[in-house]
Every structure is written in C-alpha cells, then in structure tokens.
A and B are shown apart, each in its own frame.
Chain A
Amino acid sequence: MTEHPLYVDGNALAGPLGEVFAVDPTTAWRSCPSCRLPATLAQLHVYGPEPGLTARCPGCAAVALRVVTQPEYLWLQLGGGAGAFRFTLPAVAPGVRRP
C-alpha cells in the first residue's frame, strides 16, 4: 500500500505568494544551503495548509520558507530562522473573502 504523501508540490505557493510578488514566484530558483540540491520554488515539498504552509527542500527536507495567512496579512519567513516579513495585502471589495 502506498502511503498518501503529507505534502504537495510548490505550485501550491503560487496563490498566496502571487498576492505579494510582482512576478511569478514558482520559477524562482534556490540552492539548498543544507544539501546543495538545486530546485525551483515549484519543486519544493509543501506541507499544510494549516496552521501555515511549510515549504521544504525535496532532497533533505530542510525548511525553505513558511507562509502564514490571516484575512488581512500574509507572513513570509525565508529559511529556517531568518525572521518573517509581513506584507499588507491589497484591499478586496467589501463582502469578498480571500479563500
């Protein structure tokens, strides 16, 4: 029996990060500082979505970034302990809720 994976691929980050990045973030490239594996953001393993999205290196599972979304804010933490950036999201029309 194949165990259902706990993660999805990094394309799951396209929606939330697309709200704060001016360019498509999924093609952004990184080299894992822990194991040196090169990967695009789309290739990361993403766990969550609750209480937040945790994206990990597909090779060694080191944390690449974390995203926590509130109704009005998005928190982005890069790396394992670099501190989080909080972006204020553009206003949405009254009565419209973000997914």
Chain B
Amino acid sequence: MGDLSPGFRGKTHAFAGRLPPGQYPTESFPVLSAGPTPDVPTDRWSFTLTGEAGESRSWTWDEMMALPQEEPTVDIHCVTRWSKFDTRWRGVPLDVFLDAMETAADFVVAESFDGYTTNLPLEDVTDGKAWLAHSFDGFALSPDHGGPARLVIPHLYFWKSAKWVKGLRLTLDDEPGFWESAGYHDYGDPWREQRYWSD
C-alpha cells in the first residue's frame, strides 16, 4: 500500500467521476455570507410566486409544509471550489409551486429576505431539478445555511441555491442577480467551470 492511507484511497476512488473540474471534496459545510443573517421566524415566513404580469400566489409556512415533500440526496458544488457529496435535504420540489401558475416566462429570479437575488432559466428549476428545502441532514435548516428555507439546485454552482429565499419571480427576459451582475457567470454549470462572466 506504500504511504497512502487505505481510508483516503478508498474515499477518492468512491467519488471518482463525481468531482467537477477544479473542485476539491470537503466533509465540512462552509458558510459564505454576503451580509447579515436575516432572522425570519416561520410564523412570519411566506413564499411568493410572482408571474411576469405581476400576478402572485403565496404560501405560508404551514401551507408549504403541507405540500408534497421529497428527500433528495445530492452532491453540491461551490464556486469557491469545495464540493460536498451526498448532502441530504427535505423540501418541496419547485414544480409544485410553479404548477400553480400559467406562464410564458423563460426565466426566473429567486429573491431572498436579505435582498439577495439570483437568476435562472425556468427549465433549470422544473422537472425535479430544484427544491425549496427546509431540512438538512434530518434537522431544521439552520439560519447560517439559509434557514428557515433555501433553494437547492444541485446541478449549478451553489450561489444559485439562494439562502433565506422568499419567492420566485417569473420573467420574460434574463435579469442578472447579485453575483451575476458583479462578474460571476450567468448560468454557472460546475461541469463546464462556468465561474466568471467570460468562462
């Protein structure tokens, strides 16, 4: 076996093919913040879907928790180069909310309680590819990781998975969000290393 520890070798082998280019695996869950952590009690929480003509539909916390739930286990990839495998979430597929409204929109802007925004093609948050998650690893999502609820969109860099999300706004045109308008890539595919605007 030489100098290589069997445990390290085994883990590396197990994750072969699951690590996008330029990433390293981590077992911790780093917290990145662009501002103060908002305090959002669930009795004052709501999630609002706004259509391109301004019409809206909202769900309270209890209404959201009564919707069909899923428990995805997914790999997540941060643009700061860490990847975390097999993260376990519980939440509502975004399809459940989006099915409540007819739309001609091709894009969506996720909006958070702290003013953060991120833009996504509508097709990237439908067909079981994205969730509104309220639990992580069997426990209520902590505020530093975006609790009470955040988006989980594992096939894109994790800045697209907005913390403290309060709603989705459907748009006909693409509207760059908080980091997308400050140099980061508009789409953010980790397998194509779409980190910055020109990547």
Contacts and interface: CB of A to CB of B under 8 A. Distances in A.
Interface of A: 6-7, 47-48, 50-52, 54, 56, 61, 63, 66, 68, 70, 73, 75, 77, 80-81, 83-84, 86
Q: In this complex, which of B33, B80, B181, B183 has the most chain A Cβ atoms within 10 angstroms of its Cβ?
A: B183
B34 to A, nearest CB: 4
- Contact-size category for B: 10 to 19
29 contacts: A6-B37, A7-B36, A47-B34, A47-B35, A48-B34, A51-B78, A51-B159, A51-B179, A52-B34, A52-B179, A52-B182, A52-B184, A54-B34, A54-B35, A66-B182, A68-B182, A68-B183, A68-B184, A70-B183, A70-B196, A73-B196, A75-B182, A75-B183, A77-B181, A77-B182, A77-B183, A80-B115, A84-B182, A86-B183
A81 B179 CA distance: 11
Contacts of B35: 47, 54, 56, 61, 63
B32 interface: yes
A67 B198 CA distance: 16
Given A50-B80, A83-B181, A84-B183, A6 B33 contact: yes
Nearest to A62: B115
Nearest to A75: B183
A86 B181 CA distance: 11
A63 B34 CA distance: 9
A61 B35 CA distance: 7
Given A50-B80, A51-B159, A73 B34 contact: no
Contacts of B170: none
A61 B34 CA distance: 10
B149 interface: no
Contacts of B32: 48, 50-51
Contacts of A52: 34, 179, 182-184
Interface in B21-57: 32-37
Contacts of A86: 183
